[in-house]
A and B are shown apart, each in its own frame.
Chain A
Amino acid sequence: MAENNAKQLKDLDQIRALIQKHKKNDFIFAFIGMFIIASLTITLLILFLDLFFDGYPRLGLEFFSNYPSRKAIQAGILSAWIGSSLVLIVTFLVAVPMGIAAGVYLEEYAKKNWLSDLIEINVSNLAGVPSIIYGLLALGLFVYSFGLGQSILTAGLTLALLMLPVVIVATRESIRAIPVHIREAAFAVGATKWQVVLNHVIPYSYGGILTGVIIGMARAIGETAPVITIGALTFIAFLPPSPIGTEAPFLNFDWLQSGFTVLPIQMFNWISRPQYEFHVNAAATGAVIIVLTALMNGFAIKLRYDVRKKIKW
C-alpha cells in the first residue's frame, strides 16, 4: 500500500514537472508575441506623437478653413480636405455597389470552374498591385481615352479601382462565414437565390463587408501616387462647385469635373519646400490624416462588434 502511494506520488511529480516544462513554451511564445506587438504599437505611437508635436502650433480651426498660401503661417488645408472628401464620396459610390455585387456574384451565382478560379486569383492579386500602376491605367483610360480630365471624377474612379478588390474579398469572406445550415433553411422554405441574397446573405454579412469598405476607404484616403499620376494639382486656392445647390433639384454635378487636390498631396507639396515653416504644416496635415484613418478603423471595429453581438451562429 505504502509502496503504491509512493509510486503514485512520484508519477505525480513527473507529470507536474512535464506541465511546467510545457508551460515554459507558452510563456516564451506569449513573450515574443507581446514584444512584436509592443514594438509595432510604440513605433506608430512615437511617429504619431512626433507628427502631432511638430504640427501642433498649426493645428487650429484656421488650418482647416484656410487655403494654401505662400505664407506658411496663413496656409491651410481647406481645399485639400474638401478635395479628399469629394474624391472619397465618388470612390465610395462606385466601389461599394460594384464590389458587393461582384462578391455576391462570385460567391452565390458563378459556377465553380477554372474560369471562376482564374477570376478569384486575379482579384486577390489586384489587391497587391502597386498603386502607381492604377494611376498609370487611370491616366491612359479615364483621362485620355474617356476624356474625363484631371478631375475629381477621375480621381474617385481611380481610387475606386484600388479599393474594389478589397471590397470584393471582404464581401466573399463574410459571405463564406454564413453557416450552410442557415442558407439551407432559407432555401428549404422555397426562397429563390435572389431572395436568399437579399434577405439573408447581405444582411448577415454586412458587418464584414462594411469593415472591408472602411479599411479600403482608409487606404484610399492616404493614397498619393495614383492621384499625382493622373495630375492632381499641388497648389489650389479655390473650391470645387458645391454639390448641393440652392435651387431645385438642389444637387449639381459640376464638382465632378473640377480640379482638386487631396490631403497627402498637400502634405507632399509642403514637405518638399525648403522652408522649415512649411514642414510644420506638413506635420500637421500628417497628423490629420492619421487621426482620420484611425477614426475610420475605429468605426469599423465598432460596427463589427455591434453586428457580432446580434448575430451569433
Chain B
Amino acid sequence: MVATQRKTTQKKRFNDVVKAESRNLDFYYADGTQALKNVNLDVYENKITALIGPSGCGKSTFLRSFNRMHDLYTGNRYDGQIVLHPDNTNILDKKVDPIEVRMRISMVFQKPNPFPKSIYENVAYGLRVRGEANTHVLDEKVEEALKGASLWEEVKDRLHDLAFNLSGGQQQRLCIARALATEPEIMLFDEPTSALDPIATVNIEELMSELKKKLSILIVTHNMQQAARISDYCAYMYLGELVEHDLTDKIFTNPSKKETEDYITGKFG
C-alpha cells in the first residue's frame, strides 16, 4: 500500500506518461554481491532518462535489467519488479520469457558491435529472428531503420559491404539501426559514445533527440555534459542506490541532495 501511495505522489511530480517503472529493484550477481539496492525509478514515454554516477555504481547493471541481459549468465538474481506500461507486465517475472522482453526493449552497447556480416544483414537480423522472410518487407524496413539512424545516405550504395568497413561512428549508428528496425518501445543505450570521437558523438546525440519522438530512451553515460545536453530526466546513482531522480534542469541547477551536487560539480567521482 505504501508503495502505491509513493507512486501516486511521484506521478504527480511530473506530467509525463510513465512507460516503465522499477519497483523496489534489488539485483545480486552470481558471486553474491548486491549491485542494486531498492531502486525505484520511472522511465517516461518519449523522454530521455539519463543515468549518471561514478564507475561501479550500478547504472549499467540497472540498464541491463531492462532487457534481462543478466539472464544470459547463471546465478544472477533479481528481486522486485520492472513494470512495463500500458500492459502492466512485470518483465522480471520468471514467467515472462526474456526473449519477449528483448523483442520489446532493444539495446545499443558501449562498443559498436556489428555482426561480421553485411550492413544489410546487420539491420535485417532482428526482423529475420522474428520470422520475416519477405524480401520486399525486409528491404523496406532496413531502409527505414537506416534512415532513422541517419546512416542511409552514407551506405545506400554499399548495403552488401561488410559492416566492419564502416568507421566507428557509422558502426554505432548501424547498431542503432539494428536496434531500431524491430520498432522497440524502449531503447537502452549503455554509454553509446564512449568509444567515439567528438563529431561522431554529436551525431549520435542528435540522433537520440530525434528518436525520442518515437520511443522512450534510457541511457547510461559517464559524461555529465552529455547527460545535461540530451536528457529530459536524470538519475544519480551511487553504490547501487538511486540517490536522486528529477528533471535534468533541476538536477544540474538545483539538486536537492548534497551528494548529487558534489558529483555534478566534480567535488566527487
Query: Which B79-115 residues sit within 8 Å CB-CB of chain A?
Result: 99-100, 102-103, 106-107, 109, 111, 113-115
Partner of A195, one of B69, B111, B116, B129: B129
**Interfacial chain A residues near B164, Cβ < 8 Å:** 312
A174 to B137 CA separation, bound complex (whole angstroms): 35
Given A190-B126, A199-B125, A182 contacting B179 (CB threshold 8 A)? no
Asked if B74 is an interface residue, CB under 8 A from chain A, the answer is yes
Q: Are A184 and B72 in contact (CB under 8 A)?
A: yes
Q: Are A188 and B67 in contact (CB under 8 A)?
A: yes
Given A181-B109, A311-B116, A312-B164, A187 contacting B69 (CB threshold 8 A)? yes
Q: What string of 1s and 0s marks CB contacts (under 8 Å) between A178-196 and chain B?
A: 0101111111111110010
Q: Are B179 and A189 in contact (CB under 8 A)?
A: yes
Q: Are B102 and A310 in contact (CB under 8 A)?
A: no
Asked if B130 is an interface residue, CB under 8 A from chain A, the answer is yes
Asked if B178 is an interface residue, CB under 8 A from chain A, the answer is yes
Interface range on chain B (Cβ under 8 Å from partner): 20 to 34
Asked if A273 is an interface residue, CB under 8 A from chain B, the answer is no
A112 to B74 CA separation, bound complex (whole angstroms): 8
A185 to B175 CA separation, bound complex (whole angstroms): 9
How many residues from A make CB contacts under 8 Å with B?
A: 22
Closest A residue, CB atoms, query B104: A190
Asked if B159 is an interface residue, CB under 8 A from chain A, the answer is no
Q: Are A310 and B116 in contact (CB under 8 A)?
A: yes
A101 to B103 CA separation, bound complex (whole angstroms): 28
* Nearest CB on B from A115, distance (A): 14
**Interfacial chain B residues near A310, Cβ < 8 Å:** 116, 162
- In the complex, which of the residues A185, A192, A200 has the most CB atoms of chain B within 10 Å of its own CB atom? A185
Asked if A219 is an interface residue, CB under 8 A from chain B, the answer is no
Asked if A204 is an interface residue, CB under 8 A from chain B, the answer is yes
Question: How many A-B residue pairs lie within 8 Å, measured between CB atoms?
Answer: 63
Q: Are A189 and B106 in contact (CB under 8 A)?
A: yes
Q: Are B182 and A185 in contact (CB under 8 A)?
A: no
Q: What string of 1s and 0s marks CB contacts (under 8 Å) between A97-124 and chain B?
A: 0000000000000011000000000000
Q: Are B103 and A181 in contact (CB under 8 A)?
A: no
* Nearest CB on A from B219, distance (A): 15
A253 to B109 CA separation, bound complex (whole angstroms): 53
Q: Are A189 and B111 in contact (CB under 8 A)?
A: no
Closest A residue, CB atoms, query B110: A181
Q: Are A190 and B102 in contact (CB under 8 A)?
A: yes
Closest A residue, CB atoms, query B107: A188
Closest A residue, CB atoms, query B111: A181
Q: Are A188 and B162 in contact (CB under 8 A)?
A: no
Closest A residue, CB atoms, query B129: A191
Closest B residue, CB atoms, query A192: B99
Q: Are B74 and A111 in contact (CB under 8 A)?
A: yes
* Nearest CB on A from B246, distance (A): 29
**Interfacial chain A residues near B99, Cβ < 8 Å:** 190-192
**Interfacial chain A residues near B103, Cβ < 8 Å:** 190
**Interfacial chain B residues near A192, Cβ < 8 Å:** 99, 129
Given A190-B99, A190-B102, A310-B116, A184 contacting B175 (CB threshold 8 A)? no
A257 to B129 CA separation, bound complex (whole angstroms): 44
Q: Are B113 and A190 in contact (CB under 8 A)?
A: no
* Nearest CB on B from A303, distance (A): 16
**Interfacial chain A residues near B67, Cβ < 8 Å:** 188
Q: What string of 1s and 0s marks CB contacts (under 8 Å) between A237-271 and chain B?
A: 00000000000000000000000000000000000
A187 to B113 CA separation, bound complex (whole angstroms): 12
A204 to B178 CA separation, bound complex (whole angstroms): 19
A182 to B114 CA separation, bound complex (whole angstroms): 7
Partner of B113, one of A111, A182, A199: A182
Q: Are A189 and B72 in contact (CB under 8 A)?
A: no
**Interfacial chain B residues near A185, Cβ < 8 Å:** 109, 113-115, 175, 178
Partner of A190, one of B72, B115, B129: B129
Q: Are A187 and B182 in contact (CB under 8 A)?
A: no
A189 to B179 CA separation, bound complex (whole angstroms): 7
**Interfacial chain A residues near B109, Cβ < 8 Å:** 181, 184-185, 188
Closest A residue, CB atoms, query B128: A199
Residues of chain A at the chain B interface (Cβ within 8 Å):
111-112, 179, 181-192, 195, 199-200, 204, 310-312
17 A-B pairs whose Cβ atoms sit less than 8 Å apart in the complex: A185-B109, A185-B114, A185-B115, A185-B175, A186-B125, A187-B69, A187-B72, A188-B69, A189-B106, A189-B182, A190-B103, A190-B126, A191-B129, A192-B129, A200-B115, A312-B116, A312-B164
A sample of 8 more A-B contacts (CB under 8 A), given A185-B114, A188-B109, is A182-B115, A184-B69, A185-B175, A189-B102, A189-B179, A191-B125, A310-B116, A311-B116
Which 6 pairs of residues, A with B, have the shortest CB-CB distance?
A189-B126, A190-B103, A181-B113, A190-B102, A311-B116, A188-B107
